[in-house]
Amino acid sequence: MKTFFSRFSLTAVMFFLIIGCLSGQGTVKLYDPSLDGMKQIREAIAQAKGSGKHVLIQYGGNWCSWCIRFDGFVKADTGLMRIITQNYIPVKLNYDQTNRNDAANEFLGNPSRFGFPVFIIINGDGKVLHIQDSGLLEEGQGYSRQKVQGFLKNWTPLAVIPSKPSGK
């Protein structure tokens, strides 16, 4: 009987160790809960002002499958990545049980009301230009390239304040 319990205990311990290792393999950490959201936003605004770009905030959390899905979707598309790198200072703003970034949420106009992820565009003067409900960018079990590209292109600095034609 003693050997049965020893084997059972050993098997149980091995089972839980294997499950614990496997469960951590697919974990993606896009968001850092230890960061101060307002500090992230202030730094991004300063960068945007100096570079002539806008700030693109992806507000969500590591717990959010649609947040992870969006990140992978955009990174897999060189055209979308080009639009972002040429026009935006990207920020991943955390929202979870340990850090909801309430001050940032208030500053941004309560975008969390749309669910997660939610995208916020800010200009170099710190003005919130647009809050985008990510549900409107979805298609089936993923995102629509056409909708995401349209959203990103419609809020570039050039789209918001087009250059004036040079006249004679």
Among 98, 107, 111, residue whose Cα is nearest residue 34: 98
- Note the CATH number of domain 37-158: 3.40.30.10
Q: Calculate ∠ Cα 67-73-76, nearest 5°.
A: 140
Res 28: pLDDT: 84
| The two structure tokens encoding residue 102 | 């309430």
**DSSP character for 29?**
-
Categorise residue 109: left if φ over 0, alpha if ψ from -120 to 50, beta otherwise.
Answer: left
CA distance 135 to 153: 18
**To the nearest whole number, what is the mean pLDDT of the chain?**
88
Categorise residue 93: left if φ over 0, alpha if ψ from -120 to 50, beta otherwise.
Answer: beta
What's the pLDDT tens digit per position in 54-69?
Answer: 999 999 999 999 999 9
CA distance 118 to 113: 9
Res 168: pLDDT: 54
User: Would you kindly state where each structural domain of the chain is located, as residue ranges?
Assistant: 37-158
Res 104: pLDDT: 98
Residue 8 has pLDDT above 60, yes or no: no
Q: How does residue 16 score in pLDDT terms, banded at 50, 70 and 90?
A: very low
HEC readout, 62-109? CCCHHHHHHHHHHHCCHHHHHHHHHHEEEEEEECCCCCCCHHHHHHCC
> How many residues are listed for the chain in this entry?
168
What's the pLDDT tens digit per position in 87-131?
Answer: 999 999 999 999 999 999 999 999 999 999 999 999 999 999 999
Higher-confidence residue: 87 or 2?
Answer: 87
Q: Give me the sign of the Cα torsion angle 47, 53, 59, 64.
A: negative
Res 164: pLDDT: 72
